Structures are given as structure tokens and as C-alpha cells.
Structure 1
Amino acid sequence: MHRLYPLILEHRLPAVVRYCISACIMVVCSVLQMGLQMQTGSSGYFLLLPGVFLSGLIFDRGSGIFAAVIAVGVGAYLSYAGTYGVDYFAPNVLFAITAAGTAAVAEFQRAELERVMQADKTKTVLLQELAHRTKNNLAVLSAMIRLEARNGGPEAASALEATARRLHVMADVYDHLSLKQDSRLVNMRYFLNNVVEKVFESLAPSGPVAFQVVCDEVYLPSQQALAVGIITNELVTNALKYAFPGDKPGQVAVTLSTSDGIELSVCDNGVGLRSDADPGGLGSRIVLLLTQQLDGQLAYERLESGLRVRLRAQPR
């Protein structure tokens, strides 16, 4: 029912349609009340009031009052005993007051729903604006760092370029941010594809190196998504830098699944990692720190041809 509120409250129906639907609701309630009266043998009104409340809540105050008038008429008919004495008149006056009060309460509830929905829409717009501004600021910083990299030596330029790519990953998170159930979630399928594409465009491997991203329709909270995105950026960057020397062809495969916690795998079929080598560069230290932030475990698996880095963590 909650999902119907935006459709009903935002798209006004013509008055004739609203009144006809209200009348149909009251007909259903009246039939139920008559059936109950035939079964019990005593007159009553209580099954008519939900129809009044529903009409006022779904449509507007006019529909609620219209439903209340129908309810009073049906109630008078059901309680009619062949006399216009006090025993007949007083209960119907009391019911008329109750029906009018029910219509007023429904209108108040409707106004509150409209206020809450408007506040929720405003919050969504503000969050989207904040995300857009944050993305633009990060993109500006990334561009400034890349400009500075052109004026430095080879080592400084390489370090600044790597920092610019990390900032770009942070900015890309906001392109895939969405609000679901009051949470800021990121669609990882499109986000990881975007991250890997940007790394390949930036580093432009000399050999024919392809990439593959395998990811289901996975949504992660923004903080976890950012950590996974930066880890992917670092691992794919390391693969392109060291796994395919010269013009050696190859492939880099990135896989993400959440069937049993978060499991990220970055695998290449390059030259692999020497048995006496220890990944201890800045990128590897960043990966280790982000893994600790995720409360996860990181494993380097030497393959017959290439290297697989596997991250396991629990979703939050």
C-alpha cells in the first residue's frame, strides 16, 4: 500500500472518478455490513467507517465527506425500525458525527503523508546535489594533480598520476550512487566496469591485453563500494604495470560476488609473482589498509601462469 501513495498523491484523478471510486468502496463496505447484520440479527455501523477513512486517505477531504454521507444513509437504512423515535434518531446522529470525524482524521493523515513524501523528495534532491558537487570537486582535484604531474620528474609524475586515478575512482562512485531503503548504495556491476575501463585508458598497455569484469546485480553501501573500487584500481594497475612486460599479450579478469560475503578476485595470466617477491609498494599498502578497513582477508595466489589476488570480507 505504501508504494501506491506516490502514484495516488502525485497524480490527481478527476473529481467524478474519485467520487465513483469512493462510492464503490462504500458499496463494498455496505454489502459487508448488511451481510453481518443478516447473520447476527443486530444493526451496526462499524464496517462502514473503514470505507470513509479509506476514501478520505486515498483521495481528498471531499471524497471523505461524500463517503461519510453515503455511510450515514446506509446506516440509517440498516437501523430503520419503522419509527422516528429517539431510539432511531440518536444513534444515527452520533454515527453521522463519528463519520464526519473519521473523514477529518483521514484528511489530516493524508496531509501528513504528503508532508512526509515532500520531505523525502527534498532529502533525495539534496543528497543528489551533494553527490554531484563532491564528484565535481574530486574531478577538479584529479585534473589539477595531472597538470602538476606534467611539470615533475618521471617518478613524481608517475606517483601523481596514480594519485589522480585514485581520486577519479572516488569521483566515479557518485555516478553510480542511488538511494534504496534509506541507504546510499552503489551498483557494483557498472561501477567496477567503469573503474577497470579508466585504468586501461590511463595506462594504455603496449601489448594486446584484454579485460573482463564479471559481477552480478550487486549493490554495496557507498563506503564499502569505494574501498572495493580503489582496491580494484590498485590491483588492475599493478597487473598492467608488471604482469605483461614488453608486448606480451594477456587478460585481466575481475570478479565480484556476494553469495557468501563480499568476494573480489583480480586474476591475470601474466608472468606472475616471483617466489621471493613480496608486494610491498604504495599500491599494495593501500590495498592492505583498505582490506583492514573492510575487516577482510587478502590472499595472493601464485598460479601456473599469472597471479590471482582474492579479497574476502563481510557486508555491512
Structure 2
Amino acid sequence: MQVIFSLLDLQSEKFRDKEVLEAFRESQSRVISMSLIHEELYREGEADTLDFSAYLQNLVKNLFHTYMIKSKNICLFMNLEKNAFFDMDIAVPLGMIVNELVSNSLKHAFPGQKAGEIQIKLTGEKVTDELIDDNRKHKRKDTGYTLIVSDNGVGIPENIDLENSDTLGMQLVDILVDQLDGEIEIKRDKGTEFTIRFSNI
């Protein structure tokens, strides 16, 4: 991951266009979001799941550092479920979703370095389903999670639709939510709020 990050850094030095440089920085941010997952897994030894709440704190801290100039007047509030352990199939796409949404807030929600707030909330609720398999009933226990990423900034325009967005970031969020077999809801009241619901079986 560090090699990929360095290659992107070297390649970006050949360009002066602000949009191109921003695209490289966004790609580097996505690489970092994945590399932090591997760091967390290595820290926990042989575990094949990671403490997602701890990872999320490191990820967002890194994003605020990346967008230091734009984030200096922005307060962060996090309310994260304890003992939320996810495997790679959930942690990677979910981490990238948070990366995209928080990055968007830092870049666009507070123009002119306006003061504001970004909030991240992760909650879980135990769910028991009855499944019928080969004419036999059995119960499946899982945990339904809700992730909310919100800001009190200028809000995204009404005409922006995740499924038909012309930005890579929003397209990526839509694809990754599908990958989680989850659902996403957007509210545009007094800022922007993304609510993502998914299950950890």
C-alpha cells in the first residue's frame, strides 16, 4: 500500500492542474483507508476481524490531517458502537464509504473555511431471523448496523442522485453500499446526512 501511495505521489509531481492534483490526492486517501485496515489487523495479531470503531477513529483523524487547511474550523463528533468487529468483506467497503463521505464534507460542505460540524455515528442492534432451508426452519442471529455520516454545511444539491452521479466518489459509495447488501438514505435538511444500514451475519 505504501508503494502505491508513493507511486501516486511521484506521478502527481508531473502535473500542475488543480483538478488533476485533487484526483491524485483522493486516490491516495482511498489507498490510506485500506492500508489502515491492514495495520489494525496486524496490530491484533492472528485475528481475522478488526475493531472497526478504533479503525474509524484513525481513518477520520488521518482525513482531517490530509485536509488540514479546510478542516481547521470544523469540529468532529463521533459516537461509535463498542466491540463492532468486522471482517475484511465489510471493513474495506465500509471504510472506503466513510472515507468518501467525510472527504466530501471537508471539501465541499464549508466553503470559505466556514465553521461547522461533522458527525459520525455507528450503532448495532441484534436481529434474529427465521430461515427455511430444505423444508427445515432454523434461526439465524446477526447484528444490524446503522452508520450515519452528517454535516451541518451547505448541503448537496437536490439534483445529485447517487445512482446517476457524475462524480467518482458518489458512484463509489453507491457501488460499495450494494457490495454490503445494504441500503442508503440521504437527507438534505440543515446540511447533509447519509444513513447506511447493513448486517453483520
Q: Identify the TM-score tier after normalising by the shorter chain.
A: 0.7 to 0.9
Query: Structure 1: how far apart are the matches of 2:159 and 2:31?
Result: 32
Alignment partners' CA distance in 2, 1:211 and 1:149: 30
CA offset at residue 207 of structure 1? 5.1
Counterpart of 1:171 in structure 2 is 35
Deviation at 1:143, TM superposition (A): 2.0
TM-score (norm 2): 0.82
Matched with 1:139 is 2
2: CA distance, partners of 1:179 / 1:283: 32
1:210 pairs, out of 58, 75, 84, with 75
Whole-Å separation in 2 of the counterparts to 1:278 and 1:294 = 19
What root-mean-square deviation, in Å, do the aligned CA atoms of Structure 1 and Structure 2 show?
A: 1.7
* Distance in 2 of aligned mates of 1:226 and 1:275: 29
Q: Report if the CA contact (8 A) 1:149-1:158 is conserved.
A: no
Whichever of the two has the greater Rg, that structure is 1
| Paired residue secondary structure (2:194) | strand
* Distance in 1, Cα, partners of 2:37 & 2:71: 28
Point out which structure has higher relative CO (alpha carbons under 8 A, 6+ apart).
Answer: 2
Ranges in structure 1 where 5+ consecutive residues have no aligned partner: 1-137
The question of whether the paired residues in 2 share the 8 Å contact of 1:250 and 1:269 is answered with yes
Q: Matched residues in 1 for 2:158 and 2:20: separation?
A: 29
Compute the displacement of 1:247 (Å).
Answer: 2.1
Say which SS state the counterpart of residue 174 (structure 1) adopts. helix
**Equivalent pair of 2:121/2:148 in contact (CA under 8 Å):** yes
SS of equivalent residue, structure 2 residue 78? strand
**Whose helix proportion is higher, 1 or 2?**
1
Identity rate, percent: 28
Name the CA distance, whole Å, in 2 between partners of 1:206 and 1:232.
16
Q: Secondary structure at the match of 1:141?
A: helix
Give 1:276 shift. Answer: 3.2
State the TM-score, normalizing by the size of structure 1.
0.53
- Letter of the aligned partner of 2:197 in structure 1? R
| Residue 308 of structure 1 pairs with residue 193 of structure 2 | yes
1:265 equivalenced with 2:148 (yes/no): yes
1:255-278, CA deviations, whole angstroms, 9 ceiling, x for partnerless residues?
Answer: 112225121110101111233343
Q: Secondary structure at the match of 1:159?
A: helix
Query: Which structure shows the higher strand fraction?
Result: 2
- Report the number of matched residues: 176
CA contact (8 A) 2:78 2:121 kept: yes
